[in-house]
Amino acid sequence: MTITREALTQAATHGQPLDHLTAGQVWAAHKLCVPPERLQKPLASHIAALLDNVERKARREFFGGVTPNDTDAMISRTYDKQHPPFLRQPILETLREGMDTFFPGLKPAGYDDSGEAVYALADIAHALEVSEAELLQHAEQRGITDRIQRTPAPHRIH
């Protein structure tokens, strides 16, 4: 397969591997604007080393400083779009699978401007079998009330 700039961009923005390149190498090559002809198989050792170093740096920034049991920090980083998609996508997929498994009836009330699902507080409370007031109190205790909107989702599902 011949790697093109368009294919590289597409794979990098979706956190996917491309041909013989890992998802991390794809992202690093895209970030560094490596010409596609330099990415053909076999990958030159100096290009492979460069891509691996950039990928390692991104991994250190993404995972660095997060303690093993700090799920809130990890989830927060997962939704932070400053981090590369190849690191965020696997965790987002795991979160989606968990939602589908443990809350099969919970559906988004709408979507925000970036296309992320937005859930109604009442629906979440119902799925968890608690009151909205309890959820708000819990959110306040954890310092995440700023992430709860009391207005309808910007783009409602009809």
In angstroms, rounded to a whole number, what is the distance separating the alpha carbons of residues 119 and 106? 8
> What letter represents residue 130's amino acid?
V
What digits encode the pLDDT tens for the residues 35-83?
Answer: 999 999 999 999 999 999 999 999 999 999 899 889 888 998 998 999 9
Q: How many CB atoms lie within 10 A of CB 12?
A: 23
DSSP state of 18: B
pTM for the model stands at 0.78
Tokens of 47: 């290009």
Question: pLDDT tens across 56-65, in order?
Answer: 999 999 999 8
